[in-house]
Amino acid sequence: MSRRAADSGQATPLYIAAVVGLLFVALVLFAFGEADVRRNGAQSAADAAALAAAKESRSLLEPDLMSHLADPDYFASVFSPSFLGGPDNACWKASTFAALNKAGAVRCSPLADGRWGYAVSLRSDKGMSTGIVPGTEGKKAEAEAVAVIEPRCSFAPEPESTPEPESTPDPESSADTDEDPDPEAPAAPVGKVRCDGGREWTVDPEDVTLMPDMADLFSVHLVEN
């Protein structure tokens, strides 16, 4: 009995050490798992913020597009790959979406590399809850994302028509009518916008009822920075 008691007494510290070791490993795994969750959450917030800014910028272009329905040069520039968007900055939308996803310290700016889009970086509001790994307690995850707006369509202007030769007016017929000799002609279509999927829109200043949605004219998606 005394030998069994002695063996049991010697094994007890080993059991305690093993349990402590397992607990430490579990805490380390928990810390790394929490860090991964924080990083994924911050990246999702950055993606959503960048997409929100890009979509808002696309929406802000619509009034400008509507006011230039008689300008073929404007449409040619808007649907070219080098178009940089309208004058309004939509970064406020990125900050709004970052707050909804529990992130802050938002930095947002329009792209300056010839693309129409926005770059966003942010930091999660909540830091790491454990300091089992040195330097991680309270640390907040950071992430960045870039979203661009690209045309789904191309613009084909109407070909210039050759003016008809002027005819000599008949004095008698002109004397017998009270009609305006130069009535204001309705604005002619300036061209066609041809989009993915074979959809076509005739740009007619007199009829905007068939104008596609902005999402049909321009795509918004994330890209690598």
Q: Look at residue 203 and tell me whether its pLDDT is greater than 60.
A: yes
Mean per-residue pLDDT, 15-31? 58
Q: pTM here?
A: 0.71
Note the pLDDT of residue 189. Answer: 81
Query: Which helix (H) or strand (E) covers residue 92, if one does?
Result: helix 91-100
- Mean pLDDT, the chain, integer: 79
Q: Specify whether the CB–CB gap between 108 and 93 falls below 8 A.
A: no
The span from the CA of 98 to the CA of 47, in Å, is 9
Q: Specify whether the CB–CB gap between 147 and 56 falls below 8 A.
A: no
Q: Pick the residue with more confidence: 184 or 140?
A: 140
Q: Specify whether the CB–CB gap between 129 and 141 falls below 8 A.
A: no
pLDDT band of residue 45 (cuts 50, 70, 90) is very high
Note the pLDDT of residue 197. Answer: 84
Q: Look at residue 225 and tell me whether its pLDDT is greater than 60.
A: yes
Lowest mean pLDDT among 5-19, 104-118, 150-164, 206-220: 5-19
Query: What are the residue ranges spanned by the domains of the chain?
Result: 11-159+188-223
Residue 173, token pair as written in the block? 């017929």
The span from the CA of 66 to the CA of 122, in Å, is 35
Measure the CA dihedral 160/163/164/166, to 10°: 170
Query: Which helix (H) or strand (E) covers residue 107, if one does?
Result: strand 103-110
Residue 182, token pair as written in the block? 């130069």
Note the pLDDT of residue 119. Answer: 97
How many percent of the chain have pLDDT more than 70?
65
Note the pLDDT of residue 129. Answer: 59
Q: Which residues contact 103 (CB under 8 A, 6 or more apart)?
A: 41, 42, 45, 46, 49, 122, 123, 124, 125
The span from the CA of 176 to the CA of 48, in Å, is 70
Helix axis angle for 2-66 and 91-100, nearest 10°, is 150
Mean per-residue pLDDT, 86-115? 92
Q: Pick the residue with more confidence: 177 or 85?
A: 85
Q: Look at residue 162 and tell me whether its pLDDT is greater than 50.
A: no
Tens of pLDDT along 101-126? Answer: 889 999 999 999 999 999 999 998 87
Q: Look at residue 19 and tell me whether its pLDDT is greater than 90.
A: no
pLDDT band of residue 161 (cuts 50, 70, 90) is very low
The span from the CA of 114 to the CA of 36, in Å, is 34
Lowest mean pLDDT among 62-71, 124-133, 211-220: 124-133
Q: Specify whether the CB–CB gap between 210 and 200 falls below 8 A.
A: no
Mean per-residue pLDDT, 171-188? 54
Q: Which residues contact 112 (CB under 8 A, 6 or more apart)?
A: none
